[in-house]
Amino acid sequence: MFALIVGLAIALVHISQAAPVDVEPRVVNGTDADIRDFPYMVSVQFNGRHTCGGSIINRYNILTAAHCVTRDLANFTILPGSTSITSGTAVPVEKIIIHQDYSGFMPLYHDIAIVQLVWPLRFNERVQPIRLPRTFDPIPELAGAVLTGWGLNHTDGAVQDILQKVDIIVYADAECEKLHSLSGPTNRITHVCAGVPEGGRGQCNGDSGGPLVVDGTEIGIVSWSVKPCTVQGFPGVYVKVSSYIDWINCHLKRGNYP
C-alpha cells in the first residue's frame, strides 16, 4: 500500500533519513474491495487526484498521516463513500491540523493529522466512522489486521482505481524495533509494525494515511516502509493511534449534527 521511498542500509540498498518527505502516496498483493465493507475509508485528494488514504472519525473529521497534508490547504479535498477514486462527490477541506511535534524527516515521529471538513458527511452504508482505541491501549500483538487503500501495487506500479484490501499481521513492539533498528529506528510509543514475515503483502506509496484495522478498531495509520515495498524482513510502519487519542480529541471540529 502507501509507503515512503526509503532504502535499505543493508542488503545493497541505501537508507535515506535526511531528506524531507515528498509523498504521492496500492496495497501490495491486495484484492478488490467494496467501500460498503470498509465505509470508514476515504481518499485524500490533491488537485482532484488521489494522494493518500484516510479514515472517518466523525461527520466533520478525517484521520490521516501528517506527511500527506503538508501542501496548500486550498487544493485538498476528501472523497468518501466511493470504491473508485475516479467517481463520487468530493468534500472541501476547511482546516488541516498537523501534530505539533511532527518533524517531516525519517523516521517520521508523530506522523498524524486531522482534516476538518467544510460541511458534515452524511452517514449511510458507504460512509461510516471508524472505531478508535482507548488511550494507550496495548497493541494486539500477532493479531490479524486488514489494510485498505488505493496505493501502488508494487514499488514501480500505479495507483489503483478500485479500493484494495490485504490481510497482514501486527508485529510485537520489540520485534518492530529490532527489525527497524537501522531503517528507522521505530519507537514503541509512537509506532506499530504490520506485514507478513515472508514479505510481499502490505503497504506501498499512495497507502499513506490509511487505517490499519483489527476487529473493527483502527490501531495504526500508514506512515512509511522500506523500499522496495513489502520487502522481506521489514514490515510496514504505522502511527500507533492509541498514543494519540487525547491529541485527537483536543483537535476535533465540533458541530451540531444528529
List residues with catalytic annotation: 67, 111, 208
Q: Label residues 47-81 b or e (16+ Cβ within 10 Å = b).
A: eeebbbbbbbbbbbbbbbbbbbbbeeeeebbbbbb
CB 226 within 8 A of CB 6: yes
CB 44 within 8 A of CB 179: no
Of 130, 97, 131, residue with least CA distance to 248? 97
CA angle at residue 65 from 60 to 67, to 5 degrees?
125
CA pair distance 6, 197, nearest whole angstrom = 19
Helix (DSSP H) and strand (DSSP E) numbers for the chain: 2, 13
CA pair distance 98, 216, nearest whole angstrom = 25
Q: Which residue has the cell 460512509?
A: 127
CA pair distance 128, 122, nearest whole angstrom = 9
Cell numbers at 254, concatenated = 465540533
DSSP SS3 for 73: helix
